[in-house]
A and B are shown apart, each in its own frame.
Chain A
Amino acid sequence: MKFLKIIVSIAIMLTLNSCDNLFEFSVYEADVQTAQKNTTAKNLKLLESVQVDSQDFKFAFITDVHYFYNNLKIVVDDINKRQDVLFVIFGGDIADQALLKEYEIFYDIMQTLKKPYFTVIGNHDYNANGSAIYREMFGDYNYSFVFNNNKFVLFDDIVLESKKVPDFDWLSLALSDNEQFDQVFSFAHIPTISNDITPEMQETYKSLMVENNVSLSVHGHTHSYSYEEGVVSYLVIPALKDPEYGIITVENKTFNIELIEL
């Protein structure tokens, strides 16, 4: 009877604690809770209220959580301590199998971040019903915003999983007003050094960066650090397998990068 008591108490505990997932029907469900929808739009709203009193500011770049949840939490806590980091960009692979449960775990940890954050979609995020979950939970795959007269362009360059060609026309248009801004920063999950996009796509992406005076293009996906300085610089931040992330300091017409290893 002891076993039964344990089971019954677990059941009662479940009922009292979390009515949201009292019953679960399939790992493939894409039924995003209403409170967790339109996260990108909500964060853009939050960003409007972020005060900045000089031209210089910092933002952080985290990427590839997969299932390294403890490391995500360590990084989030560290960013919370840094008053000068104003917002965070997450470089994709929010999930590992693209299950709703994984998206929810990510969402819950990011709720503890006391700054606005913006995501790009990763290849893992597209699997199963992941693309539908991403759209509901975050929003558009391609979007851009302006902060302190700098433009930030977030681009979906997933090919194999999405079975489509990246929307370079959108990217070209999003970058076309670059002359109005101090600097332009571009973000996409797969870097141009990865063969998971074709050599033609790599070239198209790079030429768009050069033509539109992009200062820095930031990526994840390869799980290792890489930095290539040039007319357009290319930065790849490692996965959260270890608690690591990047801080980019924007200074007038230039920038500095720093890899934080906790």
Chain B
Amino acid sequence: MKIKNIFIAFIVLLLTTNFYAQEANLNKDKSWYVPDYVKAQFAGNIGVISVGAGYQLFNKVLYTELLYGFVPKSVSEADEIHLITIKNTFPIYRKKIGENLTLTPIAGFATTLDIGTTTFTSLPNRFPDGYYIPNAFHFTLYGGAMLHKDFVNSKALKGADFYFEVGTVESYLWYAITSSEVKFKDVFSLSVGVNVYL
């Protein structure tokens, strides 16, 4: 039920974003809370598919996003996995490579919360104090590249970012650094995604 509610909240967010954004297009200014873009990502330890909305903050120095990610039973080989992620991406510099086309190396980190029954954010009572650290949070670190295209002739969409990232999770990185038995290639994986500006 909890998960369903969160999912509905996201759908509503996406729909209102669309609604407000279209209005904003007409008015040429929008309220501060209306996201700048909606997005979808494949893989990257935040779900098979994750969807959400984001803001370009501090004069586009930081792209910050709220995402919901999902892993179905057929992929997880266990229960369905539901993940809420706050993702922060920093464009390192922007290089114009063509008309309405910009290439940007990116780097960033994300915080992911698992909303499931097998993980916990505070230790269940049956354990002695400090027996385990909470296991519902994980952090991912990544670097990659993003291609931005402005849609000058489109009324509905302003533009889009297409990106790929190579990333890992905090524990994996720690193991790779501290143990010669864990290779970097074993802990890094690829993700791809798109941001659509409305």
Contacts and interface: CB of A to CB of B under 8 A. Distances in A.
Interface stretch (A24-32, A141-149, A214-222, A253-261): A24-32
B135 interface: yes
Contacts of A72: 181
Interface in B72-95: 75-79, 81, 83, 92, 95
Contacts of A8: 145
A7 B144 contact: yes
B92 A128 contact: no
Interface residues of B, number: 52
A4 interface: yes
A136 interface: yes
Nearest to B189: A24
Interface in B27-75: 42-48, 69, 71, 75
B191 interface: yes
Contacts, number: 133
Given A31-B76, A67-B175, A23 B191 contact: yes
B4 interface: no
B127 A14 contact: no
B143 interface: yes
A28 B182 contact: no
A140 to B, nearest CB: 18
Interface stretch (B7-15, B17-25, B111-119, B152-160): B111-119
A262 to B, nearest CB: 15
Contact of B171 (A11, A97, A108): A97
A25 B169 contact: no
B5 interface: no
B105 A28 contact: no
A99 interface: yes
A27 B169 contact: yes
- Per DSSP, chain B at the interface is mixed
A90 B182 CA distance: 20
A25 B71 contact: yes
Interface residue range, chain A: 35 or more
B187 interface: yes
A26 B182 CA distance: 19
B43 A160 contact: no
A52 interface: no
A28 B78 contact: yes
Given A13-B185, A14-B190, A21-B186, A70 B118 contact: no
Given A7-B166, A21-B186, A25-B48, A32 B77 contact: yes
A213 interface: no
A14 B81 contact: no
Nearest to B133: A97
Interface in B88-111: 92, 95, 103, 105
The 5 tightest CB contacts between A and B, nearest first, are A23-B43, A30-B78, A69-B179, A24-B189, A129-B78
